[in-house]
Amino acid sequence: MGQCFSDNGPLRLHNMTDHKEPEKDLTDNEIVRLFGLVAKELDKAGKNVTIVAIGGAVNTVLLHSRESTTDVDFFYTTKTENEDVHSVVEAAKKVSKSEKLGDQWLNNHTVLFIQEENMMILYNEACSQNREIFRAKGLTVLAAPWHYALTAKIDRLAKVGAKVHDLPDAVTYLHELVMVKRALVSTADLADWARKYKCTQANSDLLRKINEAYVEKYGSQGIDAV
């Protein structure tokens, strides 16, 4: 999720397992079941971790705007190696092996696209937003802040290789923002967020395309002064 690349800060990406099973389409019920297995492993290890999901899992489980996704992207409070992320990775390894899942079904590769100085801010914003995807003893999974999810998705749409679900995803995140703000999202805010997260700023054609798709789905505009 997201293409706004960052090279700030030390980083260790985790390969979730050493084997290579085919990727599978994960439905909302399947993702919740897998989270439950990870939670049990974390609880057995004496851990209780809150992570932030971004991308397909949010759309599939929380927003129900997709039927399935092939993986779950998450981030934590920092790019650097830490005990909590390690615990999640180890728990996911066990689940991946027992369930014969692809080795990236739960991964933190999205941290490549977030600047270190924004990691804790986005994590705290996700906690304040408090849109839960999953909660059980050992593991809580929250949705990423809507403004960041939208900014990263616009970045995808502005570049070659956008996927068919990227536009509907952007429209869905925009709607969540409109409902929270109880107002249209301004083009100035969209530009500010793109600068802050070092993402591509949408041109007027792309903004019109997103707004037209929003009107088609929700019957009113979502972006101001397009």
Residue 1's pLDDT is 52
128 band by pLDDT with thresholds 50, 70 and 90: very high
Q: What is the 3-state secondary structure (H, E, C) of 139-199?
A: EEEEECCHHHHHHHHHHHHCCCCCCCCHHHHHHHHHHHHHHHHCCCEEHHHHHHHHHHCCC
Q: Kindly state the DSSP code that residue 23 receives in the 8-state scheme.
A: P
pLDDT digits (tens, 9 = 90+) for 152-175: 999 999 999 999 999 999 999 999
Rounded to 5 degrees, what are φ and ψ at 109?
Answer: -65, -20
Residue 174's pLDDT is 98
CA distance 220 to 133: 27
Name beta bridge partners: 186: 224
Residue 16's pLDDT is 39
CA distance 24 to 16: 15
Reference 203, options 165, 163, 154; nearest CA is: 154
Average pLDDT over residues 58-86: 94
CA distances from 21 to 17, 25, 97, 102 (A): 10, 13, 9, 4
Q: What is the pTM of this model?
A: 0.90
